[in-house]
Each structure stands twice: as structure tokens, then as C-alpha cells.
Structure 1
Amino acid sequence: MYHPDNYLFTLKKLFPLIHHNLLLILALFFVMALLYMLSQRLKISYPIFLVIGGLAISFIPGLPHLNVDPDLVFLIFLPPLLFEAAWYSSWNQLWKWRRSVLSLGFGLVLVTSLAIAYFSLHIIPDFTLALGFMLGGIISPPDAVAATSVLKGMEVPKRGTTILEGESLVNDAASLTVLRFAIATVLTGQFVFQKAAVDFAVLAVMGVFVGLLIAHILYYVLRYWVGSSSITTPITLIAPYLMYIVAEQFHWSGVLAVVSGGLFLSFRSSDFLNYHTRLQTKEVWETVGFLLNGFVFILIGLELPVIIKGLEGYELSEAIYYALVISAMVIVIRIVLVYLSTFIPRWLSKDLREKEKSPGLKLPFIIGWAGMRGVVSLASALAIPLTLSDGTTGFPHRNLILFITFVVILVTLVFQGLTLPLFIRWLKVEEVDDYIPEEEQIEAIRLELAKQSIQYLDANYAVEMSQYETVGRIKEQLQRSVNATESTMNEEDKKKALSSVRGLYRKIMLELVSLRRDGLKKMTQQNQYDDQVLRVMESSLDLEEARLNKV
């Protein structure tokens, strides 16, 4: 991020890192998969489990240390993680709650950075304001992956999850911008507010411009030039790195380039993705996202003992005191600011009160308590330069900043992550907005599409349906589906009826899928049919089972 002219040199460092630590890296990926499966069984958010697991692994005697070069952290991990978050964000929902998203995304980062900067200046000896801003920028952005993994399966209002996911896109860019200027100030010893404000505007606007420009180019390539669907997924994997490196090459914001480009391509994805590429891209990105996120979370635990050994000039108890006090500050500041950003605009604007329902007191607390730190904070801390501009003088207080960051991540992930589900169950936060539940939306969409299909058949294949029984059955199946859905939706207790009918339907269909899968296994053993044909049928059953499990 901070050496855009040296990306080729930075990439050259990657190959020795993999070569010398290949067995350790593969072992960590395997352990990561085991910890993930265990976390699913215990119903604990996997980032929490991975951090604790990494910490436990680090105490194994004789375990080699994985030296992660700071220059590699941003280049390897950050672009795809930001792109994935942008790709799966809902543009319509982000726009609907843009006031809350922007006020938390920018306001929370700036206020937290200011508060941590001045507080750390007074409690940490020889700490400068620039170092304080750097620390504040590192620990201010909450991690969407950690929050959504904890909230998975919990009944949280749609407004809350949208704000948390949207906020993470904005605050990542804001915090990394604060970090950029803070590091530049430490390295040069100079900070001019007017120049910094102009530079921020330029790098933000031009970063968005680069992201959208590259996204438009890739959009036309994918829509009009790519003939093979197998190349679409690799292009989406290359896209975030291309956006990030090009923007950083011109000293603009690579983060904003990736976020803006990812949002655009996601919004227009239906123009260049067919059913095959959509399934393929989704599976690949889920795998890549899990591996990168998981590796960083397990790295948090692995690196902590190494950081402790590197604390020079500080007693461990002293460093723990600083870290715990700052962790408490970060938690309290976020909760207070969430309440202020929620209710102050409502008190000042009558139009806002009329247009937007009050979220009550419970939802802002959940949003505030969900501010767990994770991947971006770790990547930012590890990306702090090892030395000053002269190349020989060590970067001041680097290990202390790393230690505080690691403790803040641990405290917020483990403490807040484990208690958040308890608060959600205890507070019983209800949906306050006019939001139709997903299952009812799915039912309504299927009904509308089935009616449109029947109309299309009547208009284009009326003769064929009367002549051929097989073609006529298509309309019969659609009509039965429409009649059953309308009958269910017209019952007095619609929600219970929908739930019970849908549950019974899914149960029967899953049993039939299981029955057909057993039949395929017997056919495979009897060598009645070609393996290729059986694999095609098995893939069809996989897709059907996946669809049924999402109903």
C-alpha cells in the first residue's frame, strides 16, 4: 500500500515465503478446516475459534514461526476480501440506509481515531500524536465477516445487518486513509491539514474513478468478448488486484477502487453471468474468502506470542494495561456514537422522523456491540513499515502498536463475539420496518413467475400443448403450483400455513432426493450406465438439494 512502485519486488518476496513455509502453510489450512467444522458443531462463530486455535497452536514447542512480510499483507489479503464484501452487498439496501452507513463509516472512524490518539498520547510514554492517530486508524474499523458469522441464524432486523455490512465497506476505506496519512507523518515528520484534506479528496475521488473505469472495461470484456464461461471466474479473481494495484500505482486509494469497482460489477453481474458461471463464481469466491479470512484470523493467534517477545522497553503487564484500557474505550466509543448517530438526526429533522421509523433502544445497542475487530485491523498493523525512511532506524513503538491491536482484536472478537448472541436472545429485538420476510418474498416471486410462465405457454404453445401430452404437462405442473400457493396464501393464519406446508414439502422432496441418490449409488455399483452420465445426474441432485436447503 505504501510502496506502489515496488509491487514486483514485493511479489518476489512471496515465493520464498511459500517455499520455506509450504508445509506449515498447508498444515495451517488443514487445521483451519478442522477448527471450522468444530465451530459449526459447537455453534460458535468460526473467527473466534480460529483466533483461539491459532493462539493455542503458537505454544506448541518447536513450531516454526511464519514470518509475514508487511508489504505482502495488503497486496495479498485486502483486495479480494474487499471485493467479495462489495460483490455480495445489496446496493438498494445500502442506498436506503446510506445516512446511517456513512455516519458510522466515516464519523465513527474519525472520532475513534481522534479519541485514541489523544488518550494514548497521555498514557503511553514517548508516544506521539501521529502514532496515536495510526493506532486509532488501525483499530477503528469493525469486521463485517466476524459480525455476520456471529449473527448467522440469529433473528436480527434487516436494518441492522445492512448497516453493519455497508459500514464495513466505508470504514475500511476511511481507516486505511487515516493510517496512510499517519504513517506518512511519522516517516516525514510533517503534517499540513490543508494539504492532507486536498490529498484525501484527490485520492478518494480518483480511487473511485479508477475502480469504476476498470470495472466498466471488465464489464464489456465479460459481456461481449468472453466466449467461454470458464474464463469468467478467473477474471473476477484478477479484478480486485488490478483495481487495487493500478490505483495505488498513482498514489490513489486502492481500497475505494476495489469497493467501487466491486459494487458496479455486482450490480451488473446479471448481464454477463449465466447459471453455470454464477454457481461457479459463487463457490470459488466463497472458498477464496474463507481461506483468506480464516488464514488471517488464525494468524492473529499465531503472531501474538511473537509480538510479546518483541516488546522492548515495556513490561508485559504495562502493555496489557494499555491494551485493555484502549479496548474498553473502543467498545464504549462505538456504542455511544451509534446511539448519537441514530437519534440526533431524528431530533433535528422532522422529515426524517416521518420517513424513517425509530429503531428503538435495542437495535442500536446490538449494532454497537457487534463492532468486533478483525482482518483489516490485523492487515493494517502488520503493514506498518519495519523501519523509518532511512532504512535503518526502527519504526517507533511498532511492536507495542501491534500488541495493542492484537489484544483489541482478541477482546472484541472473543468477549463481544461470545456475548452478542446472548444479548440478541435476551433483548428480543423485533423488526420495526415494513419488511416482508424472505420466505414470503420467495413464495410471492415464485407465484408471479409461474403465472408469467403459464401466460407465455398459452400465447406461444397452445397448439403443441393440445397435441402433445408431454408439453401439456408443463402447464399442468405450473398450474398446480400456482393453485397450491394461492390456496396457502389465502388461509387465515398465513405465516403458520406457509411454514408448515413449506416444511412438509421440503421434507418430502429431500427424502426423494436421498432416495434417488441411493438409486444412483446402486447403478454405479452395477455398472449399468456410463460414469459420466451418472455424474451429470448426481450434479443435478446436488443442485436440487442445495435449492431445497435454501427454501
Structure 2
Amino acid sequence: MHEGIRGIETVFLLLLLFVVIFGDLARRLKVAYPIVLVIAGLLVSFVPGLPKISLNPEIIFLVILPPLLFHAAWETSWRDFRYNIASILLLAFGLIGFTVLGMALAGERLFSLLYWRTGFVLGAIVAPTDAIAATSIAKRVGLPQQITDILEGESLVNDATGLLALEFGVAMVVSGVTPSFGAGALRLLYLIVAGIGIGVVVGWVVHWFELHIDDGPIEMTLGLVAAYGAYIAAEEAHASGVLAVVACGLYLSRKSTEYFSPGVRLQAYALWNAIDFVLNGVVFLLIGLQLPFVLAGLHSYSKLTLLAYAAGVSTLVIALRLLWIYPGAYLAYYIRRRFLKQTEPIASAKQIFVTGWTGMRGVVSLAAALSIPETMANGQPFPSRNLIIFLTFSVILVTLVLQGLTLPPLVRALGLGSVGGPDGEEVEARRLMLESALTYIQEARERDQPEFEEMYEDFAEHHQDRLTALLSHSDNNADMTQYARQREVAFELLKIQRKTLVDLRNTGRISDTVLRRLERELDLSETK
């Protein structure tokens, strides 16, 4: 028992160490960390003597997936999600169905080692895109915000559709019975409605508790309870755990302004960012480390056959997305104009192509492949199971590495990169915030006692300077030289005060407790 625990500790420590090393390498190379970590895991898997770490699908679905989905939903703008709902659903449902059927037909006609049912299973596994891989890469290369919003929404929803298709595909292979279209539609409807309903109920309960608590550690623990609680409750009800977590995350994110104090909010963002990075880092590293296990059951296939199938299936997956993306975009435009009364202009051909090129797959696909049962109802081995796992692994590698690495030059070549100009909504929000503050200062000055006049004058002058700099930038589109210099000097002043605090602590004039208390005030000032 002691040796087993020590082995787990060693493996966990190695994983964290690799995540830190290769995560820092990704930052230095200015490459999205999922790409670097997958490649690193692949290379590390060849190192002799290192422990072989297998990926348990139950751990992925029950332990790692809920907090990752919850944080991704929390970071998603509900307004933008709702505004782009037509485009998102056509990708999350339409594209999933198109990919599954395309792979089923290809399994029958193009790939002799698969038939249409196992092709259906493979299509269901590789159809959903990865929430973290696509958006982290898209944000790094500066894609237009609407494309990023659509990719985020798609990857949050399509896991549920893909896992339902996998459920049907496995049932068809194991039992030999093909479910009817009506049964499939009813099952999908139940997954969606029950999953979203359970997620909102869990969110409402957690929100009620949050309103009566003002304690950072407890509130952040409640966030984890919400993520896992929504997922487990939905799975127990045979609904979509994925949609339950997404709905819960979106609901609590909208409500968080009501119950998070400023200090707790800073703690929560720091904690969730750390959890997100560690879990994603471990997951993408584990994908690369699975190569020995993926190859273990493929001795009966020649290397040339495996390479040809890997290249063929990966190309087909990419091609199916590109084939769907253009008519899907035009259909979404029609729905938005005709039924949703949106005046959104149709996306350019370049934007549509880039949206199609960002279909990266991730750990959900690999975990889904590993969750395929080893035997059928009659006791026979599940047909082509090892081949399906290998092809899934190949699709993940190709879409992450090939598409991920080629996306930045492609975006630059098409002229779609962000120009880095001012965000109109942000400028407007800053202006209204400052004007509201100035109005309050003037009203409070008139009500208060005369001896506080100088204090109000200082406040008014400070906020008026910021407003003047902001309006100058907004109206004339000129460089905010004065405002930038003001911020620079303010940070230098904070740095001087921080150094003074440390010197006082080092000479014994103040305690570490006083240091931390005053240092926190400076940190909060620096984040404003």
C-alpha cells in the first residue's frame, strides 16, 4: 500500500513538473500551451525508464471535466452566447451530425478495416471540438471576437451531442439494433432540457447560499461543489452532465456580481485560473503520453496501413468541417436575419474558412474512445476498438499540432488578426463610470461639511484627469500618452512603497502580518 501511494505521488509530481517546464516553454515560444504540452508528452513517452501513465476515462469525465467546463462557461459572455446562438447550434448539432454520418459512410466505403457502425462510433468520438484548445489558440492569434465567441459556444455545447451519438453508436455495435430517429430525437430532447434544468437548479441553490456567506475559501469551495454537483446530478438523472455544468456556470457567472465581494472575486479568479491551467496542462500532457498504450493493441496492423488510415481519417475530419462550415454560415445568417431580426452582416469567406480551420480536438475525444466497451453483448471483442482509439489519437494530434501551428500564419495571411485598437464598449463603460463618480463627488461635496472640501477636490481632479485622457483617446483616436505615463508613474510609486515595506520588515520594524496586510492594499491598488 505504501509503495503504491508513493508511486502515485511520484507520477503526480512528474506531471506537475512537466506542466511547469513545458508551460513556461510555451510562453517563451509564444505558442499556445496545449500544442507544446501534447508534443512534449509525445516525446516524453519515448524516454525509457519513466513510468507509463494511462488515461482513465472515468477520471477525465468525473474529476477533470466538470471544473474545466464550469470555468469555461463562467468566462463566457451570456449576451454574446445568446446573440450567436444560431451559429453555435448549427455547429454544435448540425456539424456533429454531419461529421458522424460522413464518418459512417466513409467507414463503409473508404476504409476497409471499418464498417458503417464502427465508422459511426469513430465519427461520434472525433466530432466534438475541445473547449480549451480552440479558444486558447484563437485568443493568442488575435481572431475577431465574434469568431472566438462562436468557437467558445460551440465547444461548450457539442460535447453533449457527440456523447449522445457515441451512446447510440456503441449500442448499435454491441446489440446490433439501430435506434429509430424518433427515439434519438426524444433522447436528445431529454438530455438538453433535463441537463439545462438541473444545472440552473443547482446554480440557484448555490446562489442562495452565496448570498448568505462572505468568506473567500468557503465561497470558492462552493464553486467546486456547483461544478461537480451539477454534473453528478445530471448524470444520475441520465441527462447531459456537460450541459448541466455549462448552464450552472453561465447562471452563477451572471449572478456573481450580487454575492462576490471585491476581495473574494480577486481570490476566485486567481484560484480558478490556477485550477484551469493545472488541469488542462495535465490533460494535454497525458494525451501525448498515451502513445505506448495506443500502439499496444495494434500489432496485427502494418505501420504503413496505420499511417495511411491516420492521415485519411484526419484529413476527412478536417474536410467534413470545412464542407459544412460554408453552407452552415449562410444558413445561420438567414436564420439570424429572418427569425432573430439581427442586423449582423454575413461573415466573409476568409472568416468562415478560419472558423472551419479551428476545429481542434482534445481530451474528451480520447476519453470517449477509451470508454468504448471491450466486448459486445455476445461476448465477442468490440470490433476495431484499438484501431478506433489509435485513429482518435491521430486526429487529436493532427488537429492540435497541424491546425494549431498553422493558424497564426493563416490568420496573418488572411488579414484577420486583431489590430489592437480600443474596445468601443470598454471605452464607453469607462466614460460612464467616471462620469457617475464625478456626479457623486459633486453631490457629496454639497452635502458634506466644509472641512472636507479639499478631499473632494482631490477626488474630483483625479477622476477628471482620467476622463479627459479617455475622451481624448476616444474622440481623436490619438495615443493616450498622458494617461499611459500617469499609470506608469502610479506603478512606480506602488513599487517604491512595496520596497519600503519589505525594508521595514527586513529590519524588524514591522511584522510579517503587517507586511502582508499593507502589501494586499498595494496589490489591490495595482489591479484597479
Which of 125, 137, 143 is the equivalent residue of 1:150? 137
2:76 is the alignment partner of 1:92: no
The 5 A counterparts of 1:373-522 are: 373-389=361-377, 393-429=380-416, 439-464=423-448, 466-468=450-452, 469-490=454-475, 494-498=476-480, 500-522=481-503
Q: Which moved more, 1:119-128 or 1:88-97?
A: 119-128
TM norm structure 1: 0.88
Change (3 A) 1:466 1:348: closer
Match of 1:101 in 2: 88
Secondary structure of 2:160's aligned partner: helix
Whether 1:185 aligns to 2:172 is: yes
Q: Which amino acid aligns with 2:21?
A: L
Match of 1:4 in 2: none
The CA deviation at 1:516 is 2.9
Alignment partner of 1:222 is 2:210:
yes
1:509 Cα deviation from its structure 2 partner: 2.9
Determine the structure 1 residue equivalent to 2:298. Answer: 311
| Counterpart contact for 1:73–1:383, Cα < 8 Å | no
The alpha carbon displacement at 1:227 in A equals: 4.7
Match of 2:354 in 1: 366
Shift of 1:525: 2.0
Q: Could you say if the C-alpha distance between residues 17 and 80 of structure 1 is closer, same or farther in structure 2, counting changes exceeding 3 Å? A: farther
Q: Alpha-carbon deviation of 1:440?
A: 4.4
Question: Aligned partners of 1:222 and 1:132: how far apart in 2?
Answer: 47
Question: Aligned-pair RMSD on alpha carbons?
Answer: 2.6
- In 2, are the aligned partners of 1:130 and 1:182 still within 8 Å (CA)? yes
Which residue in 2 is equivalent to 1:117? 104
Counterparts of 1:233-244 in structure 2 under 5 Å? Answer: 233-244=220-231
Residue 546 to residue 396, structure 1, CA distance change in 2 (3 Å): farther
- Contact 1:207–1:257 (CA<8 Å) still a contact in 2? yes
Deviations 1:65-101 (A, max 9, x none): 1233333221112211211111111110111111111
Instruction: Kindly report which structure 2 residues correspond to 1:249-260, keeping only aligned pairs within 5 A, or say none.
Output: 249-260=236-247
Check conservation: 2:108, 2:115, Cα contact below 8 A. Answer: yes
Read off the aligned partner of 1:206 and give its amino acid letter. Answer: A
Q: Deviations over 1:436-495 (max 9, x none)?
A: 9654433332332222122223323425363123354223322333344334544xxx22
Task: Tell me how far apart the structure 1 counterparts of residues 347 and 161 of structure 2 sit (CA, whole Å).
Answer: 26
Structure 1 CA distance for aligned equivalents of residues 431 and 520 of structure 2: 27
Q: Distance in 2 between matches of 1:354 and 1:444?
A: 22
The answer (yes or no) to whether the contact 1:74–1:383 under 8 Å persists in 2 is no
Q: Which runs of 5+ in 1 are unaligned?
A: 1-14
1:33-48 matches, within 5 Å, as: 33-48=20-35
Q: Amino acid of the residue matched to residue 450 of structure 2?
A: S
Secondary structure of 1:85's aligned partner:
helix
Q: Contact conserved, 1:464 with 1:471, CA < 8 A, in 2?
A: no
Q: TM-score, normalised by structure 2?
A: 0.92
The one-letter code sitting in structure 1 at the alignment partner of 2:479 is A
Mapped partners of 1:246, 1:348: distance in 2: 34
Distance 1:73 1:430, change over 3 A: closer
Alpha-carbon contact 1:143-1:372 (below 8 Å) kept: yes
Q: Which amino acid aligns with 1:513?
A: L
Aligned to 2:60: 73
How many angstroms apart in 1 are the aligned matches of 2:504 and 2:424?
39
Does the CA-based 8 Å contact 2:99-2:123 persist in structure 1?
yes
Q: Assess if the C-alpha contact under 8 Å between 2:88 and 2:150 holds in 1.
A: yes
Q: One-letter code of the match for 1:543? A: L
CA distance in 1, matches of 2:36, 2:4: 26
Q: State how far apart, in whole Å, the 2-side matches of 1:349 and 1:362 are.
A: 20
Deviations 1:364-407 (A, max 9, x none): 111111111112212222222344457x6543322111110111
**1:211 aligned residue:** 199
Cα–Cα, structure 1 residues 16 and 446, in superposed 2: closer, same or farther, change >3 Å? farther
Aligned residues: 524
Q: 500, 504, 507: which one pairs with 1:523?
A: 504
Change (3 A) 1:345 1:90: closer
Consecutive unaligned residues in structure 2, runs of 5 or more: none
Deviates more, 1:351-360 or 1:439-448: 351-360
Distance in 1 (alpha carbons) for counterparts of 2:27 and 2:417? 26
Q: 2:456, 2:477 → 1: CA distance?
A: 34
CA deviations over 1:30-51 (Å, ceiling 9, x no partner): 1111100011011111111001
Retained in 2: the 8 A contact 1:91–1:263? yes
Equivalent residue letter for 1:518: K
C-alpha deviation, 1:253, in angstroms: 1.5
Match of 1:8 in 2: none
- Secondary structure at the aligned position of 1:21 is classed as helix
> Does 2:178 match 1:197?
no
1:279 pairs with one of 261, 266, 282: 266
Counterpart CA distance in 2 for 1:20 and 1:205 is 43
Contact kept? 1:466, 1:472, Cα under 8 Å = no
Residue 248 of structure 1 corresponds to 235
* Closer/same/farther in 2, CA of residues 513 and 350 from structure 1, 3 Å limit: closer
1:537 aligns with: 518
Q: Is the 8 A contact 1:465 1:472 kept in 2?
A: no
Query: What amino acid does structure 1 have at the position aligned with 2:99?
Result: T
CA contact (8 A) 1:70 1:385 kept: no
